[in-house]
Amino acid sequence: MPLAQSLERAVNDGAIFLLAFGAVLALAGGLIYGRWRLVARVTLVCAFLALGAGTAFGAWAWHEKRPRDVRGSSTEFVQALRPTKPKPKQPSKLLSTESWPTYGFDPERTHLAPAEWRLRPPFHGIWRRTLSSDIEFPPSVAYGKLYVAQQKGHFYAISARSGKVHWTKTFDRCVAASPAIADGIVYQGFLQTNPCGGHVRTNDGLLVAWDAKSGKELWRLRPGAVESSPLVIGRTLYFGSKDRKVYALQLRGRKRPRTRWTFTTDDEVVAAPAYSQGKIFAATSNGSVYAIDARNGRQVWHATSFSRFGGREYFYATPAIAYGRVFAPNADGTVYAYGARTGKLLWARQVGTYAYTAPAVWRRTVYVGTWDGYFVAVDAVTGEIRWRFDAPSTISGAPTVLSGLVYFSSCGRCGVGGSRRVELGPRRTFALNARNGDLVWTFFDGKYSPIVSDGRRVYLTGKNKIYALIPRVRWERYQRQRAAAKRRAGKRARPRSGAKAGTSSGTPG
C-alpha cells in the first residue's frame, strides 16, 4: 500500500476514534458533574480536546480527498483517434496473422478492435479451456493461437480453432502481464517466485522469448521484476520493471537482444508502456507519467498526478494514447488527460474511489471502471461524464470496445481491505452500448479484462477459463450451410433408380 493510502487510512481511523472518544468523555462528564465536579471538568476538557482534534483530522481528510476536477477544452486535441500508419509494401505472411499482438491491441493501447470486425451478441460457444489458476491479463492472439499466462506462472499456446493446447511452459513465478508477439516470437514478463499477492517490492524477475510455433525457448533476461506487458515497435522491444527502469532492447531475430537504452524513473514501472509518434509513454507507482524519445531514451516531458496526504498514488493502469492526448487512470480514483506533445494537464475527472483499469477509447470517449462498482464513459475533450453504469462489484480489468459495444467484467471481491469504499458482489461480464451505456448482453463468468478477438471469434477470459464465442447468427448460418452440403453430397452418392449400390449408373453389377 503506498504512503498516501496508508496515511489516509490512519487519518480516517484517527478522526473516527477521536470523535467517538470525545463523545464518550463528554457523556461521562455530564453524568458525573453533580457528584465529582473537578473530575467532571477535567473529563469535559479532555472531551472537547478530543472532539477538536477529531474534527481537525476529519477536516484534513476531507480537504485531501476532495474532488479536484479540471475541466478541459479542445486545446491539444487531434481529430484522428490514432496517427495514420502507412502499410508495409510487402507484408510478411507471419505479420499479417498477428491479430491481437499485444495488451490493448495496438501500440497506443486503446483497447479498440478494428471497425471491420463485426461480432455482436448473442454468442454461441465453440470451446472452453480451463487453466489452473486466475488469468489476470488477457491473451494475445497470433498465428491461429491464443498465448496466455495465468497468475502462478503457467503459460499456454492454445489453438484458436479448437481450444487444444499446442504447448505449455511452467515457471515457479507470478505473472501479471500479457505477452507481446512479433515475427514468430512470443515475449513474456515474469515477477517474483510464488506465492503471489500484494505489491511485493522485489527486483527478482524474468523476460523470456519463445518460438511461437514450437515453444522452444530462444533466450531469457533478468532485468528485474516485470509486471509490465511488453511492446514491440519495429526491431525494438519496450517494457517497464520494478527496478524503476524502462528498457528498450534491440532485437536481433532469434538471438539474445542488446540493450538499446534504459530510462530511470522515480518509482516502479508496473504499467505497460504505450507508443505514439516516436515517443514511449510510461507511468509509475509514484504518480508520474513520462514521455521518452523512443530512439535514444531521453526524457521529453514529465507530469504528475495530484498529491494527497503528502504523496501520490499508483499509476497501476496502462495509459492510452488517443486524439493527441495521454489518458491515464490513477489509483486515487481520477482519470488524467495530458497533452501527448507537451505533458500539460488538460483535464482531470474523479470517477470513483479507485481506478485500476486501463482505459478504452472510441469516438471521443474514454471508458474506465472503478473499485466502487461504476463503469464510466468520459468525454475525451472536456473530461465531463457522459454516462455511468452501476456494476455489481469492483471493476479491475481493462475494457474492450468491439463493434460498437464496450465489454468489461466485474471482479467480485477485488479490493477487500481498501481504505476507501469498494463494491463487493458477483463476477460477471457485461456488454454495453458504447454510445449510451445501455445493457446489451451479460455472461456468467469474468473477473479482469474479458475480451480479445481475431476478427472471426471473440475470446472471453473468465476467472480461470477461456471461452471461444461466435455470433449465433453466424453459427446458425454455418450449420445450415453444413446441412445443405451434406444433403448435396448425399444426392451425388445416391445411385439412380434400378441401379445397384456400388455400380456405375446404368451398368449391370
The sign of the torsion formed by the CA atoms of 55, 60, 61, 65 equals positive
Q: How confident is the model at residue 507 (pLDDT cuts 50, 70, 90)?
A: very low
Q: How confident is the model at residue 3 (pLDDT cuts 50, 70, 90)?
A: low
**Same domain, residue pair 57 and 114:** no
Of the ranges 129-133, 334-338, 396-400, 429-433, which one carries the lowest mean pLDDT score?
Answer: 129-133
Flag whether 209 is in a domain: yes
Segment 234-279, tens digit of pLDDT: 999 999 999 999 999 999 999 999 999 999 999 999 999 999 999 9
Quick one: cell of 100? 491481437
pLDDT of residue 423: 93
* Cα 25–Cα 54–Cα 42 angle in degrees, nearest 5: 30
**Same domain, residue pair 200 and 52:** no
The sign of the torsion formed by the CA atoms of 342, 348, 352, 354 equals positive
**Same domain, residue pair 116 and 252:** yes
- Angle between helices 3-32 and 37-65 in degrees, nearest 10: 150
What is the four-CA torsion angle of 284, 290, 291, 294, rounded to 10 degrees? -50
**Same domain, residue pair 358 and 209:** yes
**Same domain, residue pair 102 and 21:** no
Q: Rounded to an integer, what distance in angstroms lies between the CA atom of residue 483 and that of residue 477? A: 10
Q: What phi and psi, each to the nearest 5 degrees, are found at residue 508? A: -60, 150
pLDDT of residue 5: 64
Of the ranges 43-57, 335-349, 361-375, which one carries the lowest mean pLDDT score?
Answer: 43-57
pLDDT of residue 199: 60
Flag whether 70 is in a domain: no
Helices (H) and strands (E) in the chain, counts: 4, 32
**Same domain, residue pair 266 and 404:** yes
Flag whether 169 is in a domain: yes
pLDDT of residue 63: 61
170: helix, strand or coil: strand
pLDDT of residue 243: 93
**379-401: average pLDDT:** 97
Segment 67-113, tens digit of pLDDT: 778 898 988 899 899 887 644 444 344 444 889 999 999 999 999 99
Flag whether 441 is in a domain: yes
CB–CB of 245/263 below 8 Å? yes
| pLDDT higher than 90, residue 305 | yes
Q: Rounded to an integer, what distance in angstroms lies between the CA atom of residue 431 and that of residue 429? A: 7
Among 65, 84, 109, identify where a domain stops: 65
Q: Cite the beta strand spans of 305-373 per DSSP E.
A: 320-322, 325-329, 334-339, 345-350, 360-362, 365-369
**Same domain, residue pair 123 and 259:** yes
**165-189: average pLDDT:** 95
**Same domain, residue pair 61 and 97:** no
Percent of the chain's residues with pLDDT above 90: 66
Flag whether 492 is in a domain: no
Q: Rounded to an integer, what distance in angstroms lies between the CA atom of residue 41 and that of residue 30? A: 9
What radius of gyration, in Å, describes the C-alpha atoms of the chain? 28
Segment 394-447, tens digit of pLDDT: 999 999 999 999 999 999 988 887 778 899 999 999 999 999 999 999 999 999
Segment 146-172, tens digit of pLDDT: 999 999 999 999 999 999 999 999 999
**197-208: average pLDDT:** 76
Q: DSSP class of residue 203?
A: -
Looking at residue 460, its amino acid is: L
Segment 443-486, tens digit of pLDDT: 999 999 999 999 999 999 999 999 999 999 888 887 887 788 77
Number of domains present in the structure of the chain: 2
**299-316: average pLDDT:** 89
The sign of the torsion formed by the CA atoms of 13, 18, 23, 29 equals positive
**Same domain, residue pair 133 and 208:** yes
- Of the two residues 27 and 503, the one the predictor is more confident about is 27
**Same domain, residue pair 48 and 105:** no
pLDDT of residue 500: 42
Flag whether 494 is in a domain: no
Residue range(s) defining the domain that contains residue 15: 3-65
Residue 17 half-sphere exposure, CB side, CA atoms within 13 Å? Answer: 6
- Of the two residues 197 and 421, the one the predictor is more confident about is 421
Flag whether 495 is in a domain: no
- Of the two residues 375 and 472, the one the predictor is more confident about is 375
146: helix, strand or coil: strand
Q: What is the CATH number of the domain that holds 389?
A: 2.130.10.10
pLDDT of residue 509: 29
pLDDT of residue 387: 98
pTM of the model: 0.86
pLDDT of residue 193: 84
Report which listed range, 43-52, 53-62, 350-359, is most confident: 350-359
**Same domain, residue pair 29 and 161:** no
CB–CB of 434/441 below 8 Å? no
**Same domain, residue pair 276 and 357:** yes
pLDDT of residue 94: 42
Flag whether 437 is in a domain: yes
Q: Rounded to an integer, what distance in angstroms lies between the CA atom of residue 238 and that of residue 293? A: 12
